[in-house]
């Protein structure tokens, strides 16, 4: 395989995918980055934003050129012009917000994690199925071009059978600015906030785990602050997913196969380059430099829009999201995280 013959990421076109009219529930930090990415790189348009406070919603709408704003999520749910809502509330409110919107017949793109537990994620999936609407988790790493190209390179046999996937997402969060991550509540902790990325990446490449062992450390308030989750998958492939709330690490990923290796050279969870090391050579794939960092959030929104236009359900993606939350439930149980015991 030469650099000229890299497989395409096979993602829907960012500009050609017809626009849906989006709503946003929760005018917080990630919602700002998300709408900026959406409007900068795609034809999708945000029609309305809702916050619990109408002035806050109006300020957000003004900052992003959004025509309508509401002071409650219920008012957004009642807006017949909205096709799909991006749920950007804090994690413990994903379930309630998503169910409210699904009941109003809206498709939903829910920030990661889909729920605080696998049981919550199953509730969202069941409600979507029952209402005949689309639901997807915004685990955007899985829809980034480098991830899709890596999947296809592996599928083409370039590194042989996958033996080990190792990935890390560890950040030293500011305990004041990022209080929600440390709060002793059900939606907090390293595993749900950032550990979900290496776990989702590994499970996309080697499937669900057959067994899992977790070691780590808790905060004084019983929240998981460090964890290493080691799993065995089909064909004895192993995955090692590392996460922390209080250590900055390079957040790389490596996939070792029976006859080669892929090294993701920069933060693997956002648009990244990777090296393919096989057949005595190293070849490097690079992403489009115009879509860097959190601008990569736009791909999952467009993937959702393309699915909805094509009449596809998100059943496979939701099953994977629920599976990763089952692993997190088990890892939290093994660590004795008090918020979920
Ligand atoms: N994909 C990514 O890269 C990424 C990055 C960061 C975070 N996230 C995820 O996005 C979600 C939001 O994170 P964030 O950093 O944006 O959080 P944030 O700014 O602290 O809060 C987001 C919004 O949650 C809403 N909310 C609703 N009920 C609430 C309550 N009772 N208490 C507090 N907030 C409430 C607030 O909406 P109102 O505006 O209505 O008040 C707030 O604006 C989390 O689930 C997180 O895991 C994803």
pLDDT in tens, 141-186: 999 999 999 999 999 999 999 999 999 999 999 999 999 999 988 8
The rounded Å distance from CA 122 to ligand 1 centre is 21
What is the pTM for the complete model shown? 0.97
The SS3 assignment for 120 reads helix
The predicted pLDDT at position 42 comes to 98
pLDDT tens figures, 207-218 = 999 999 999 999
Nearest atom in ligand 1 to the alpha carbon of residue 50 is 40
CA–CA separation, 97 and 237 (whole Å): 37
CA–CA separation, 47 and 85 (whole Å): 10
The predicted pLDDT at position 2 comes to 47
The enclosing H or E element of 304 equals: helix 298-310
Instruction: Give exposure, 234-249, as e/b (b: 16+ Cβ within 10 Å).
Output: eeebbbbbbbbbeeee
Place 340 in a pLDDT band, splitting at 50, 70 and 90. Answer: low
For 107, residues 6+ apart whose C-beta sits below 8 A from its C-beta are 20, 83, 84, 85, 133, 134, 135, 304, 308
Strands 211-218 vs 224-232: parallel, antiparallel or unpaired: antiparallel
- Helices 315-335 and 196-206 sit at what angle, rounded to 10 degrees? 120
Judged against a pLDDT cut of 50, whether residue 239 lies above it is answered with: yes
**Measuring from atom 32 of ligand 1, which residue has the nearest CA?**
90
Positive or negative torsion for Cα 170, 297, 186, 126: negative
For 246, residues 6+ apart whose C-beta sits below 8 A from its C-beta are 172, 173, 225, 226
The rounded Å distance from CA 247 to ligand 1 centre is 22
pLDDT tens figures, 226-235 = 999 999 999 9
Max CA separation in the chain (angstroms): 60
One DSSP character per residue, 173-191 reads: --TTTTHHHHSSSTT-SHI
The rounded Å distance from CA 29 to ligand 1 centre is 7
The rounded Å distance from CA 141 to ligand 1 centre is 19
CA–CA separation, 178 and 200 (whole Å): 23
- Residue 16, φ and ψ in degrees, nearest 5: -85, -20
Q: Looking up tokens 């560890």, which residue turns up?
A: 170
For the chain, how big is the Rg over CA atoms in Å?
20
Strand order in the sheet with 45-50: 68-70, 45-50, 21-25, 84-87, 107-111, 135-138
Q: State the average pLDDT over residues 254-281.
A: 97
Q: Output the ligand 1 site: residues, CB below 6 A.
A: 26-30, 51-53, 56, 88-91, 93, 111-112, 138, 140, 180, 193
pLDDT tens figures, 4-18 = 589 999 999 999 999
**Measuring from atom 4 of ligand 1, which residue has the nearest CA?**
30
**Measuring from atom 6 of ligand 1, which residue has the nearest CA?**
30
Which domains, and CATH codes, for the chain?
A: 3-140 (3.40.50.720), 141-297+313-340 (3.30.360.10)
The residue among 73, 76, 78, 67 whose CA lies nearest residue 94 is 73
Nearest atom in ligand 1 to the alpha carbon of residue 180 is 20
Token reading at 100? 């409210």
CA–CA separation, 60 and 65 (whole Å): 9
Q: What is the mean pLDDT of the chain?
A: 96
Nearest atom in ligand 1 to the alpha carbon of residue 30 is 16
pLDDT tens figures, 53-64 = 999 999 999 999
| Residues with active-site annotation | 112
Nearest atom in ligand 1 to the alpha carbon of residue 187 is 45
The rounded Å distance from CA 56 to ligand 1 centre is 14
């Amino acid at each position: 395989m030469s650099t000229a013959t890299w497989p395409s990421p096979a993602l829907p076109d960012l500009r050609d995918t017809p626009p849906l009219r989006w709503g946003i529930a929760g005018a917080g930090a990630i919602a700002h980055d998300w709408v900026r990415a959406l409007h900068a790189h795609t034809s999708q348009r945000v029609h309305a934003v809702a916050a619990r406070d109408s002035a806050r919603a109006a300020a957000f709408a003004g900052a992003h050129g959004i025509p309508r704003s509401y002071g409650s999520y219920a008012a957004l749910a009642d807006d017949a012009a909205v096709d799909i809502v991006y749920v950007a509330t804090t994690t413990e409110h994903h379930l309630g917000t998503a169910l409210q919107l699904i009941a109003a017949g809206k498709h939903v793109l829910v920030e990661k994690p889909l729920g605080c537990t696998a049981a919550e994620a199953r509730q969202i999936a069941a409600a979507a199925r029952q209402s005949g609407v689309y639901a997807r988790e915004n685990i955007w790493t899985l829809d980034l071009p480098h991830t899709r190209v890596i999947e296809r390179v592996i599928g083409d046999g370039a590194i042989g059978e996958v033996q080990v996937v190792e990935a890390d997402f560890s950040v030293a969060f500011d305990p004041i600015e990022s209080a929600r991550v440390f709060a002793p509540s059900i939606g907090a902790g390293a595993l749900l906030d950032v550990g979900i990325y290496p776990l989702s990446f590994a499970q996309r490449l080697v499937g669900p785990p057959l067994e899992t062992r977790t070691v780590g450390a808790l905060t004084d308030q019983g929240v998981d602050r460090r964890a290493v989750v080691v799993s065995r998958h089909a064909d004895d492939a192993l995955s090692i997913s590392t996460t922390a709330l209080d250590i900055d690490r390079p957040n790389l990923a490596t996939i070792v196969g029976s006859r080669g290796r892929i090294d993701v050279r920069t933060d693997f969870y956002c648009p990244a380059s990777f090296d393919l090391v096989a057949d005595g050579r190293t070849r490097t794939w690079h992403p489009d430099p115009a879509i860097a960092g959190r601008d990569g959030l736009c791909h999952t929104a467009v993937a959702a829009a393309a699915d909805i236009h094509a009449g596809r359900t998100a059943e496979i993606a939701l099953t994977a999201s629920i599976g990763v939350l089952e692993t997190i439930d088990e890892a939290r149980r093994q660590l004795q995280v008090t918020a979920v015991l």
